[in-house]
Amino acid sequence: MRAVLALTISFVAVWLTACSSKPDAPSASARSNTTYVEIFHDVSPDKLNGLSISPDYLRDVLRMIELGGRKTIFASLLAEWIKQGVIPDNDSIVLCFDDGEPGALDYAEPILREFGMQATAFVFTSGIDDGRPRHMGWDDLLQLVARGAWEVHSHSHTHPILYQQSDDAIREELITSLDRLQRHDLALYAPLFAYPSGTNDPRVQQAVRDAGYFAAFKAGPIPSATSGADLFAIPRNTITQFYDQDLICRKLGVDLKEIRKKLIILEESEGSFDGGWSQIQCTPDAPRGQHGKGYAASKAGNAKWQVEIEIQEAGFYAIGIWLPPIGMKDAPFELRIQQEGLDGSFKNESLPGVRNGWNRLGGLDLNAGKLTLSIQSLGEQPLILDAVRLMRTEEPRPRRRLLNNHNPALRRTTRIVSSCRAATFSIAAARYLAAPSGSRYAFITRSAICEPSV
């Protein structure tokens, strides 16, 4: 008996609004030079909610910056340019890490070093006084700066919404924070300020000037600064885990079409790929080794990737798929799971709901024994995939239950899934492998097994 599961993915479209808005593509001839200013918060492999992003996601964003031909500069250099009224090029980008969360040192710093990129940390100093686990301590900040690619500036002392405060309270925030930083030999010259939550008004701006800051950063939907920007209201914008590649490119001011041209098709696929899949390597030059990374790309419709898996333990499994930001989210595909007595498939018919990063597609009961997992691309567009994950949940779940990461009603299910046994099958398996340009990667590996948590 073969039961057929045809599950449709439907996602809450919080981010769709953003994706469907008109691109704000920079046009070099019509505008003055532009520098984009991005905000990140914590970077953590475990805490993938709200403002924090995973290390893999940060790598993907930095790769898009690299492929987009941008170089990173400190926020202080941008402020100096704006002060002088000239932004000398269109190639610069500022990366900020806000609030002093520990992922800046633990994850962002080594990843930025792989890419040879710089960053600016805006910290609220009472958090630094408190130190770990929730914030970096003063020694951590000094370590960041000692590594040469970071500068540290003020984000107030206690992170209040400043325009809601009294004049005295605002002054206290600004002066205390600057004093704490300077006592630790940070923000000594031309200190910068980032408004907590990005909000400010003329009174707050004046207080920042009066407290001796050189420039200040606010929040803006598209974080582009031109030479005519207000020195005390330079726009920045947050990048979160849930942006798709089009939106990320708009926020970074890079051209996705240009990035795609730089992808190199390495070699034709073999073994369990057929019908026009190949691996791509995203680094046009010889990879620097530490972050060589591959994806699988289908060049035409009906391309199929397939792997056989031995299921050790019968039970309910959730299934997820990783689409890198650079992947084509609009390409239709079918993910199919076949076992004796079971033929289940997930079609991404409502594909605008699929985002980059992990998409938890759904869940189903599996028997012990052999299972065939396949992904077939269904359209003409190329599809770029990175990994598929099968996750055993500890609790029995009804068959055909959708595990929708964006649906608050299903959060509990999602949490159980995230703490369950997981096997990740990397499609291109080239993540983080040191590999000389043009080398052949192993196609399928079981790259991660995490033990169930009690």
Residues that bind Zn ion (CB under 5 A): 98-99
Q: How many residues does the chain have?
A: 454
Closer CB to Zn ion, 60 or 99, in the complex: 99
Least separation in angstroms between residue 191's CB and Zn ion is 17
Residue 54 carries which side chain, given as an amino acid letter?
A: S
Closer CB to Zn ion, 8 or 199, in the complex: 199
Q: For residue 303, what are its two tokens? A: 């391309």
Least separation in angstroms between residue 450's CB and Zn ion is 31
**Best CA proximity match to 308, nearest among 362, 271, 341, 261:** 271
Closer CB to Zn ion, 208 or 388, in the complex: 208
Neighbour tally for 8: CB within 10 Å: 12
Q: For residue 436, what are its two tokens? A: 């000389």
Closer CB to Zn ion, 126 or 407, in the complex: 126
Residue 252 carries which side chain, given as an amino acid letter?
A: L
Q: For residue 101, what are its two tokens? A: 């969360």
For 232-294, the DSSP string reads T-EEEEE--TT--HHHHHHHHT--HHHHHHT-EEEEE--TTEESSEEEEES-SSS--STT--E
Closer CB to Zn ion, 198 or 287, in the complex: 198
Closer CB to Zn ion, 60 or 98, in the complex: 98
Least separation in angstroms between residue 272's CB and Zn ion is 46
On whether the CB atoms of residues 120 and 153 are closer than 8 A, the answer is: yes
Least separation in angstroms between residue 434's CB and Zn ion is 36
Least separation in angstroms between residue 121's CB and Zn ion is 11
Helix, strand or coil, per DSSP, at residue 60 = helix
The whole-angstrom separation of Cα 310 and Cα 369 is: 5
Least separation in angstroms between residue 155's CB and Zn ion is 5
The whole-angstrom separation of Cα 351 and Cα 11 is: 9
Least separation in angstroms between residue 196's CB and Zn ion is 5
Least separation in angstroms between residue 334's CB and Zn ion is 42
Closer CB to Zn ion, 122 or 273, in the complex: 122
Q: Give the single-character DSSP code of 441.
A: P
The whole-angstrom separation of Cα 214 and Cα 76 is: 9
Residues facing 334 on adjacent strands? 347, 376
Least separation in angstroms between residue 162's CB and Zn ion is 12
Q: For residue 41, what are its two tokens? A: 């918060």
On whether the CB atoms of residues 23 and 250 are closer than 8 A, the answer is: yes
Closer CB to Zn ion, 98 or 140, in the complex: 98
Least separation in angstroms between residue 302's CB and Zn ion is 48
CA 238 from centre of chain: 11
The whole-angstrom separation of Cα 448 and Cα 442 is: 15
The whole-angstrom separation of Cα 222 and Cα 14 is: 18
Closer CB to Zn ion, 100 or 292, in the complex: 100
The whole-angstrom separation of Cα 290 and Cα 435 is: 9
Closer CB to Zn ion, 121 or 390, in the complex: 121
